[in-house]
Structure 1
Amino acid sequence: MSGHTELQTGQQVGERYAASLMNTFGPPKLTLVRGEGAHVWDADGKEYVDLLGGIAVNALGHAHPALVAAVTDQLSTLGHISNFFTSVPQVELAEKLVALVGAGPGKVFLANSGAEANEAAFKMTRRTGRTHVVVAEGGFHGRTMGALALTSKAAYREPFEPLPGDVTFVPYGDVDALREAVTETTAAILLEPIQGEAGVVMAPAGYLRAARALADESGALLWLDEVQTGMGRTGDWFAHAGHVVPDILTLAKGLGGGYPIGAVVGLGRAADLLEPGNHGTTFGGSPVACAAALAVIRTIEEDGLLEHVRRAGERLREGLAADARVTEVRGEGLLIGLDLVSETAAAVVEAAQRAGFIVNMPTPSRIRLAPPLVLTDADIESFLTAWPTILDEAGT
């Protein structure tokens, strides 16, 4: 590997990182050099169980043979072609996504990320002739200027204001607040079925159905952001399954299993809102990205991963909740959030890392897990065995 002898230790790489990359993320916690399944290794040779999965991205873990083969084969056949043309993987993926949603006719716009998918969806709402969007507080929809306008957190928004306007934020899960905010001028209601970045916050029973009813009454679109919750993460293809049918569905993260791709699925009247010249992308829908996504979907189907995710998630939640220092465990499938009895989440992340586990801290008292869908029973048991000691060392 070119330059491999120069990248000798994590500390050395960290120093080079600080000198050459913009400080948008702070110092990296680790320098990772290799992955296999739900395990990764750092530059110093230490092995970790990856319980974050690239923040719900690495659906098939690391170096999955099906994903490697699909990307390699496609790249060796046809890589980038621009959107003056199409490819068979692009059409097959669009057809497959509409079929997985299972809500009748629909059409797909393919992008490169969740933020880009949400940007496209935001523009779709403007094509209704209305401009008002109602969004839940605590949601996260991306860092680009349009997506940021739909994200309520002041620390994200304020340094970049003014942002695109006519957005109303309401408390997540509050049907009365939603009803008060939605009017006949509302273009769309934007919700996550489960709020991931907030620490895996669940929608109350009936909330999505109430949002669907309000959208129908007002003539607004119901837009569900499943960038984090979609593609098998919750044990179903989509977290909204069995609850409602959206007009717009945005996807990314696990869709490509680590290869960058995002998608907007427009259903019913939303399918035809974007016309030639309204939007575009250079890399979106490339044959390689689409081949990667098709490989992810095919592997989830053939390996029975949805059932595995449901069972594995139940075991993890049960084991984590057994410790009295955990006051609540939430989630579906392998998207799990928990509350600690004290604000020691940062120390828990560090203690877990020392013990060989990668977890995430969305707030000072919350831990989030979003491991690969291929997480093994042995990985689960090793983590649950170490969990009490991790809490001990963190002073929880």
Structure 2
Amino acid sequence: MNALGHAHPKLIEALTEQANKVWHVSNLYQVEGQTALAEKLINLTFADTVFFANSGAEALEASIKMARKYHAVSGHPERYELITFEGAFHGRTLATIAAGGQEKYLEGFGPATPGFVQVPLNDLAAVKAAISENTAGFLIEPIQGEGGICEATKDFMRQLRALADEHGLLLVLDEVQCGVGRTGHLYAYQDMGIEPDIMASAKGIGGGFPLGACLATAEAAKGMTPGTHGSTYGGNPLAVAVGGAVIDEVSKPEFLEHVRRVSGRLSQGLSMLADEYPDVIEAVRGRGLMLGLKCVKPNTELQKAFMDKGLLTVAAGDNVVRLLPPLIISEDEAMDAVARIEAVCAELSTKSTAGKEEVSAS
């Protein structure tokens, strides 16, 4: 979320300037900052239109509603189901936990909201088999964050786009975690040779300030006429002022090149550790500065050990530890992180333990 770190001067400037003007304007009226940020996003992406929200879950709710409404106004109200993918995480509302389909998030909340069909990630045959007369489209994270930094392959994404076109369906992307420069591209889809119809963006887009956005083509959004959706605080002047400053910084070619360069060094260093300590780290996953360590030992054990070394990480599914540093991280800071991870690996490795035991015995 803190894509530009803490107290970035450009964000402070944008927030302070807006705070001295107006904090809130009803969305019944045109909000100048919304228009400015929407135009930036439209110019930088596939989108023709943008709806602002406060969070990723809200951006996904708008995306889901938009996909259903599109088919309803196109004369096919029976098309309300989205095909989603095992391991996904789309939020914590009733609709988004149903979309994710993970039992640990569904438990205790009664019957799951209907309208979602889960299939395995990167399994094109399963996707084709799941398409029915009720299918509205596909909802997918290009890189699953909570699921364990599991990537949809470029070929799979292209096949989904082709299937959507063939069957008159919508391709809906969840780039809440992997968007806004995280992969070394402004949005992950831009390195996959496809364009979505609808996309949810949040987290990094606000640089730590609550902000979400649902981006869409004019065709996909044609059913979302005034009154069909809304938000009291979505796109409030403070949030869009900060969001505009974030996009100005992150969209710079040299900024994205920096992310890719640092990522290259970080990934290389981590891969070397996986080779050296295969009993601790099984593999390194991800792209850009959205990386994951597939652990041999319990990921919570590594997460705690990393924290003891002053390194904050996030546990994820499939026994993965996520590394999601601010995008402004330097190469030296990345190498410092590798050194701290190496120290933990050395402490946890059975190879190191065996060596200590041999020294003690002698």
Using the size of structure 1 for normalisation, the TM-score is 0.82
Equivalents in 2 of 1:277, 1:301: separation in Å?
A: 32
Is 1:319 the counterpart of 2:273 in the alignment?
no
2:222 corresponds to: 272
AA of the residue aligned to 1:315: R
Question: Identity percentage over the alignment?
Answer: 42
Equivalents in 1 of 2:265, 2:7: separation in Å?
A: 25
AA of the residue aligned to 1:112: N
| Segment of structure 1 superposing worse, 370-379 or 108-117 | 370-379
AA of the residue aligned to 1:86: Q
2:209 corresponds to: 259
1:205 to 148, 151, 154: 154
* Residues 347 and 394, structure 1, Cα contact 8 Å, conserved in 2: no
2:167 to 195, 218, 222: 218
Is 1:114 the counterpart of 2:56 in the alignment?
yes
Using the size of structure 2 for normalisation, the TM-score is 0.90
Go from structure 1 to structure 2 and tell me whether the alpha carbon gap of 1:246 and 1:170 turns closer, same or farther (over 3 Å shift): same
Equivalents in 2 of 1:245, 1:149: separation in Å?
A: 25
* Residues 183 and 288, structure 2, Cα contact 8 Å, conserved in 1: yes
* Residues 343 and 364, structure 1, Cα contact 8 Å, conserved in 2: no
Count of aligned residue pairs for this structure pair: 337
Q: Deviations 1:202-235 (Å, cap 9, x if unpaired)?
A: 1123101111111111111110100011111100
Equivalents in 2 of 1:177, 1:68: separation in Å?
A: 48
| Segment of structure 1 superposing worse, 91-100 or 176-185 | 176-185
Equivalents in 1 of 2:318, 2:188: separation in Å?
A: 26
The structural deviation recorded for 1:367 is 1.2
2:305 to 351, 364, 369: 351
1:294-333 aligned at under 5 Å gives the runs 294-302=244-252, 304-323=254-273, 324=275, 325=278, 326-333=281-288
Is 1:369 the counterpart of 2:319 in the alignment?
no
The structural deviation recorded for 1:364 is 6.6
Go from structure 1 to structure 2 and tell me whether the alpha carbon gap of 1:186 and 1:358 turns closer, same or farther (over 3 Å shift): same
Equivalents in 2 of 1:200, 1:157: separation in Å?
A: 21
AA of the residue aligned to 2:11: L
Equivalents in 2 of 1:364, 1:64: separation in Å?
A: 34
AA of the residue aligned to 1:380: A
2:32 corresponds to: 88
1:384-395 aligned at under 5 Å gives the runs 384-395=338-349
1:271 match: secondary structure: coil
* Residues 223 and 249, structure 1, Cα contact 8 Å, conserved in 2: yes
Equivalents in 2 of 1:183, 1:213: separation in Å?
A: 16
Go from structure 1 to structure 2 and tell me whether the alpha carbon gap of 1:268 and 1:112 turns closer, same or farther (over 3 Å shift): same
1:127-276 aligned at under 5 Å gives the runs 127=69, 128-129=71-72, 130-242=79-191, 243-276=193-226
AA of the residue aligned to 1:125: A
1:272 match: secondary structure: coil
The structure where helix makes up a greater share of residues is 2
1:70 to 14, 23, 26: 14
1:338 corresponds to: 293
| Segment of structure 1 superposing worse, 241-250 or 322-331 | 322-331
| Segment of structure 1 superposing worse, 90-99 or 295-304 | 295-304
AA of the residue aligned to 1:289: A
Equivalents in 2 of 1:395, 1:86: separation in Å?
A: 59
1:209 match: secondary structure: helix
CA RMSD of aligned residues (A): 1.5
The structural deviation recorded for 1:179 is 0.9
Equivalents in 1 of 2:29, 2:7: separation in Å?
A: 30
The structural deviation recorded for 1:370 is 0.9
Equivalents in 2 of 1:395, 1:344: separation in Å?
A: 13
